[in-house]
Structure 1
Amino acid sequence: MSYHAFTRLRERGIAAHDIRHVILYGSAASKDSPSNPNGRKPGINFEGETDNNQLIRVKVTWRKGYAVVTVHEVGNG
C-alpha cells in the first residue's frame, strides 16, 4: 500500500478490510492508461462503500511486478 493510501486510511478512519472489499466487490469506475493525457500512473480505479457508508475510490496500479494501492474518499454514501 502506498504512503498516500496509508495516510488517507488513518485520516478518514477507513479500515484495511474496506479496501479489499472495494477491490473485490466494488465497481470498476475508470482506468488510467499508460501515457494518459493527465500524467496519472496507469491503473484501475474501483469505487464502493465502506462499512460506515463512506464512498471511496481505490486505485490499483503496478510497479515492477507488484501492485500498489491508493485510496481517495469520494463522499458519503
Structure 2
Amino acid sequence: MEVKIGVQQVQRELTVDVNESAEDVQKLVADAVGSSDGVLTLTDSKGRTVVVPTAKLAYVEIGGGTPGTVGFRS
C-alpha cells in the first residue's frame, strides 16, 4: 500500500510503501493526530521507519497510483 505524506513548508512529499491495509494506516494517522506526543510513525516494507510530527502534516494520501503502467497510453 502506497502512502504519500505532505509536510508543511516542504515542496516534496514523502512516499512510503507499507504492508498494512488502508484501514490500518487510516487508524494510525487518526491515533497519531489525537495523541499527546503528536508523531506519526510508519514502517515501510523494507523495515525503515518514518517519523513525522503531526503538527507539520499537510495531508496523508492512502493508496493511489496504478501499479504496472509503463510507457505511453492512448
Normalised by the size of structure 1, how large is the TM-score?
0.32
Q: TM-score, normalised by structure 2?
A: 0.33
Where relative contact order (Cα < 8 A, 6+ residues apart) is larger, the structure is 2
Counting strand residues as a fraction of each chain, which structure ranks higher? 1
Larger of the two Rg values belongs to structure: 2
